Structure 1
Amino acid sequence: MASEPQGGLTEYITHHLQHFKPLRMSPEGFWSVHIDSLTVSLVLGIVFCLWFWAMARKATSGVPGKGQAFVEIILEFVDGQVKDVFHGDRSFLGPLALTVFIWVFLMNAMDLLPVDLLPWITHQFGIGHFRSVPTADLNLTFAMSITVLLLVIFYSFKAKGFGGYTHELFTAPFGAHPALWIPNFLLNIVELLSKPVSLSMRLFGNMYAGELVFMLIAGLFSAGSWWLYGMGVIGYTIWGIFHILIISIQAFIFMVLTIVYISMAHDHH
């Protein structure tokens, strides 16, 4: 449910779109530190680790329980995706894909909580602004995608060697003629930098839009009309069910692209 918006729906949405930051210590814009996004993502990461650790401890070779069966379905699904894309050693890429998929899904799923729930809880502790969906924060999605970029660069050097990867940067795709070195290098740098941009912007855009729709619907609860309240309940339910599909697809896309980009780093041109 939404609390009574002070100053109308516009101010209500503006208030909910502000992040919890350190007192006058964090710069604005891309380099700002958003404590709410960091806190929620860290807590969800711990929840994910504890959940799978507990399931691993209870695992049995006999008839699995519901929890173990569910985890095994997820593991087989993720391993199947990795196996279809990457044909090398999956000892690192498999756990990485699993972590990306579950972690991003859990962060996306925070959007299904009532809009005012976490802000109301944190308000009791004197925190005026708190956003509960980390993946609706461009800073966090860029941080994750930059991590993927660093892995891509690392595996490019690991698979091809320093000389091999450097040679590829200057000779692919147009050839090894000295006159084409600069165009090749610029094209490869653009291709490399486009990967984190596409990863981060796609996830952020979908989750930010979904969060905004929930806020708009939540505004109907405070309109003072019973029929608008009813429309808000119906809209919240319908959008929530549809949003389950969105958060799942976005987690899947982020995982698959991470696998594809690292797989491409092993390919020789």
Structure 2
Amino acid sequence: MHTNLRTVNVTRYITPLREGGSLPALAEADDDFKYVLKFRGAGHGVKALIAEFLGGQIARFLGLPVPELVFATLDEAFGRTEGDEEIQDLLQGSQGLNLGLHFLSGALTYDAAVNDCDALLASKIVWLDAYITNVDRTFKNTNLLIWKKELWLIDHGAAFYFHHSWDNWKENALTPFSLIKDHVLLPKATRLEDVNNEFTSKLNDTVLREIVNQIPEDWLLWEDQAITPTEIKEVYFQFLSIRLANASVFLKQAQDVRTTLI
């Protein structure tokens, strides 16, 4: 299994993407590619980057269409000439390692009323979001793109919401995830049982441990928690491991809610 991310250096800030609440931006890196940058200095800070990283890497391992993720470095001089004071503060507060998603030029936002999604892919995405407790794939904000006539998943920064309070994480690992009722693809997800069988056989503790261990150490130095980076990684791993072992809980929730939509 190969899940390592490349590291790039950001060379040019192009424009803010103001539709995102955390003020992501389009930027260029030293590999000459453009990326949607998620900043450590934004609202939810490194926890949003960790959620984006874990969600994206798990989706990637499961074969779901996710733009390439990269670690993106901002040096200390970056942003000093930015005219917008809010953006300058964001850039100055994001020195070091951030996260970038390969920019899908010309992509359009998925619209459930216009665009189709086959039952298998819809079921895979619903299962993933129920597993990682992603609250942000709704009709109002799909976080899905159509690029070159294919569906792509973006923005997993709102997943793993337990880490914003950090209390009762074991209890959260066993919750059925009631917010799946708002998922934009749930009406199309008719193959959840098949997907559950496939994904629970693919994912295992070895895979989860490898992904979690790749979380950068400096994303784990939390001032609001008196625990070490190693301890934080262990909680993420245990959350994912327990949730996988009890996938039937969130699977049944999704299936039960689907019956009310038919």
Regarding TM over 0.5, the answer is: no
Q: TM-score range with shorter-chain normalisation? A: under 0.3
Higher helix content, 1 or 2: 1
- The structure in which a higher percent of residues are strand is 2
What is the TM-score normalised by the length of structure 1? 0.27
TM-score when normalising by structure 2: 0.27
